[in-house]
Structure 1
Amino acid sequence: MIKAAKIDLSDISNELSFLLFILRDVQELDEKRIREFTSNLKWDSFIQLTLHHRVYPIVYLKLNQIRSSLIPADIMETLRYHYNSNVIKMMQLTKEMNEVCGKLSDNGIRTILLKGPILAIQLYGDMSHRTSKDLDILIDAEDVERAEEVMTQLGYEAEDKHLLIHNWKNKFHHFSFRHKEHSVQVEIHWRLNPNSNDSHSFNRLWGRKNKVHLLNQSFHCLGNEDLLYYLANHGARHAWFRLRWLMDIDRLMPKIDSGKMHVYFKQHGGQSFTGQAFILAFNLLDSKIPHSMNQLTDNKKTLRLAKTSLFFIKKIVKLNPVPEKSVVWHYFRYTLSLMTGRQRARYLLNHLEPNVQDMSLLPLYKPLHFLYFPLRPFLWFWRNIINN
């Protein structure tokens, strides 16, 4: 195992330090260390951080196991409430996953589950140990229209007005559905991420897929190498503002075959954001990085990305679906720094084109849609700066 480059954590709060201490993979939490942290801890801030980072299942299970008198009873009760709520949520998502995937399969549509209960089983061995607000299902791009019909039959309504854009399948990589009665959200993906290309086509991913068994049923999920690429890319695009994503990387790391991953990087890229994930996981969670992966962390760009993303981890910020006003320019610069020159050009050109938000903010008759192009910068500024 190797040690990645150290990054400065001296200015993180006591509450975040305690949270990281709990999340690290130690057999038993040391009572003396707990006393050091809790002697000057703001418990409201600690709970706020735990909920924001979506790691309260693990925090509750670990603290409940030691039953320390240093943890206030009302704090444990709050964590217990959220843990139990998550168990119910994951059971609900599992029920919907069975129904949606079954119906899609009946219509000849292959599915690969990206997150949700299956990811919790893959990485944690128990679906109650990870949170998830929705289901993310990857399908072949050719099946998107049929999948939309199936979702409608199941009582789901599309949340995205994607059909307003003529080239929506090229411009976006997923759209969302919400059930009319029980409000479960399902995202149907036809690309792995916004920058996916033919090397990550559905058929290629299907050929490398894994299988997970849950409730006497089999579900398809990403192979380990594809999953690392996907999770690292997703976390990087969102600046790792939730520790849950780094916990996923930490749990996945021991399952990775370094030899296969080196071949994978040569074919698909992804070294910079994967190295960023490894540096952050090492520094924040004491993750064990395989020695043969050291070239990922021994890189100036990777280290710079890791240091930059700390800005979003230390604070409680909202980045999704749009960054809050206080960090929007910081996040914009960070996003550009992640990209290659070609990706940066494509990203900027893509943002010059009108989107659904522009059309909702300023509805125009179809013959006047050409006006969205010159108006695009002003509409973006109004939506993200003035009206945020």
Structure 2
Amino acid sequence: MLRPRRDQARGADRSPEARRPALDPRPLPRLRGQPWCDDRPRPFDRDRGREPPQPDRNRHRRLCFGQADRGRAGGRAALVPGDVTRARGEPSAEFRLVAACCRWPTDVAAIRAAASAEPLAWPRVVRVARRHRVIGFVRRGLTMAGLDVPRRLDELYRPMLQRNLLHYAEAARLAGLLADAGIPVAFLKGVVLAELAYADQGVKQTVDNDILVAPHDVPPALALLDRAGYRLNDPRNIDGARLPLMIDLFRECQLVHRDTGALVDLHWRMQSLEQLAPEPVVADEARMVTVEGKPLPTILGEAMMIYLAIHGARHSWARIKWLADFNALLVKMDDASVAAMRDRAARDGVGPCIDSALIQCERRFGTPVPPEAYRSRRARALVWLADRLIFGPDETVDQHLVPGRYMRVWLASAAMMKTRPRFLAHVAWDIWVAPRDMLAMPLPRPLRPLYVLISPVRRVGRLAARGFARARSKTMRAPQEK
């Protein structure tokens, strides 16, 4: 905070130098969890005391450090930068440039307009692109617009492209192995979506391969993936007694390759929440798509669009990458196809998810959508919740730094997606019962309602053990400090 000294406030000198307030030499108050000696940037106003006043050209660069959510271990979360000079509902100039680069087909005029509208902090552009996993979009857009690509963006793009090619090779290999074993599968998102939307594996960042199988095919699929070099990563330590429980109560598991580190998410349900939408029959709805000369089975048409909309709404569109994928497929559809998609989503009870995705596409990318999409109050509520995470103070902050804030928005989004009692009961179950408690104590199907009582008791026990360990560590450190 800038304050004039008393001797200057009472002085008789009327010169401009004397009227200019001097900096208060006292240090700023220490933030909670902040060390005593640090050189991090603090809020400042470089224009105060100047004559004439200068335009505020760097308001989006002035950062302050606020205490993050206390959801991390020990309650000592990292200090996360948040932009306090911009209104919460207003995206930054860097985010608008990244969103312009995510339009498909690439809009060179929009990219140049966004780049010249305000002075840009290019390190922040790179952070926003990395946070939303759209490094390929931004690099392609800047190159086509004739703008200089930051060196850091090129450094991040090369390993991303290598990772994409690795997952493409693994998808082609696993598709052949699963077909030879007679297991019907469908690849979701990933390399298949990159081919359908962009016809280029260098634009969309592929983090893993999502493979959908029928629930009764999960054990043979896991055995085949184990022989192919993959091990179960999340959840771990699944034996014969816990495998049926995992299939009944979970929707997916993650596997990692022992040598290359390639990831596979094995799904036996498409939707993250039960009773949200009808599950497809993989053997009947899977269609072949040629990706770089290799056939891969996937789900096409309205089912794929509804799945992408539900996935984005469930995660509050926290990454603009998901919205860019939906928009790239939307621009290829005519008005009749969009109307048929909305009708099917309404029959399935997930109309607000589709409408919120359409609204976001029009707001972020300028894609024309039916005006009927704005009539749903729940769709508008989902859009409002998504704005809390997709840009603003969290546009450069990853989920693991502020888990509490993300969790609150996700729970509110889940309650807005569907209002049927059975669906809300499943949402309440997911909130109340921890998955680790179910896997730690496998129970037969008739006794599984007891998890409603077991999970809170185990959660209290974990909190008590954590507090005891923290108090013991402080007691052991006290003699050493003396």
TM-score between the two structures when normalised by the length of structure 2: 0.68
Q: Match of 2:457, as an amino acid?
A: L
Describe how 1:4-43 pairs up with structure 2 within 5 A.
11-25=90-104, 27-29=107-109, 33-34=113-114, 36-37=116-117, 40-43=119-122
What residue number does 2:191 align with?
117
1:354–1:81 CA distance, 2 compared to 1 (3 A): closer
Structure index of larger Rg: 2
Q: Does the aligned pair in 1 maintain the 2:230–2:257 contact within 8 Å?
A: yes
- The Cα shift of 1:333 comes to 3.0
Q: Does the aligned pair in 1 maintain the 2:211–2:264 contact within 8 Å?
A: yes
Q: Does the aligned pair in 2 maintain the 1:53–1:242 contact within 8 Å?
A: yes
What residue number does 2:263 align with?
185
Describe how 1:277-356 pairs up with structure 2 within 5 A.
277-289=357-369, 291=370, 294-314=371-391, 315=394, 316-319=396-399, 324-342=403-421, 343-356=423-436
Q: Match of 2:101, as an amino acid?
A: I
What residue number does 2:310 align with?
233
What residue number does 1:130 align with?
204
What residue number does 1:170 align with?
248
User: SS of the counterpart of 2:108?
Assistant: coil
**Residues in 1 aligned to 2:454 and 2:144: alpha-carbon distance in whole angstroms:** 57
**Residues in 1 aligned to 2:413 and 2:113: alpha-carbon distance in whole angstroms:** 35
**Residues in 1 aligned to 2:410 and 2:272: alpha-carbon distance in whole angstroms:** 17
Aligned residue pairs: how many?
363
What residue number does 2:172 align with?
98
Match of 1:62 among 141, 153, 164: 141
**Residues in 1 aligned to 2:94 and 2:115: alpha-carbon distance in whole angstroms:** 13
- The Cα shift of 1:208 comes to 3.5
Q: Does the aligned pair in 1 maintain the 2:160–2:205 contact within 8 Å?
A: yes
Larger CA deviation: 51-60 vs 248-257: 248-257
Q: Match of 1:174, as an amino acid?
A: E
What residue number does 2:64 align with?
none
**Residues in 2 aligned to 1:178 and 1:331: alpha-carbon distance in whole angstroms:** 27
Describe how 1:145-224 pairs up with structure 2 within 5 A.
145-159=219-233, 160-161=235-236, 162-163=238-239, 164=242, 167-196=245-274, 200-203=278-281, 205-224=282-301
What residue number does 2:83 align with?
none
**Residues in 2 aligned to 1:98 and 1:301: alpha-carbon distance in whole angstroms:** 40
1:379–1:244 CA distance, 2 compared to 1 (3 A): farther
- The Cα shift of 1:49 comes to 0.2
Unaligned runs of 5+ residues in structure 1 are: 1-7
TM-score between the two structures when normalised by the length of structure 1: 0.83
Q: Match of 1:103, as an amino acid?
A: L
Consecutive aligned runs of 4 or more in structure 1 exceeding 6 Å deviation? 363-366, 379-383
1:219–1:88 CA distance, 2 compared to 1 (3 A): same
**Residues in 2 aligned to 1:258 and 1:10: alpha-carbon distance in whole angstroms:** 29
- The Cα shift of 1:9 comes to 8.4
Task: Flag the structure with higher helix content.
Answer: 1
Q: Match of 2:292, as an amino acid?
A: L
The answer to whether residue 123 in structure 2 is matched with residue 44 in structure 1 is yes
Structure with larger RCO (C-alpha < 8 A, sep 6+):
1
Identity %: 20
- The Cα shift of 1:359 comes to 7.0
1:17–1:262 CA distance, 2 compared to 1 (3 A): closer
**Residues in 1 aligned to 2:308 and 2:111: alpha-carbon distance in whole angstroms:** 34
1:135–1:225 CA distance, 2 compared to 1 (3 A): same
- The Cα shift of 1:271 comes to 0.7
Q: Does the aligned pair in 1 maintain the 2:97–2:115 contact within 8 Å?
A: no
**Residues in 1 aligned to 2:431 and 2:223: alpha-carbon distance in whole angstroms:** 29
Unaligned runs of 5+ residues in structure 2 are: 1-86, 444-449, 470-482
The answer to whether residue 450 in structure 2 is matched with residue 372 in structure 1 is no
Larger CA deviation: 271-280 vs 345-354: 345-354
Q: Does the aligned pair in 1 maintain the 2:194–2:200 contact within 8 Å?
A: yes
What residue number does 1:4 align with?
none
What residue number does 2:348 align with?
268
Map Cα deviations across residues 181-232 of structure 1 (whole Å, 9 max, x no partner): 11111011111112355974442x5434432112332111111101111101
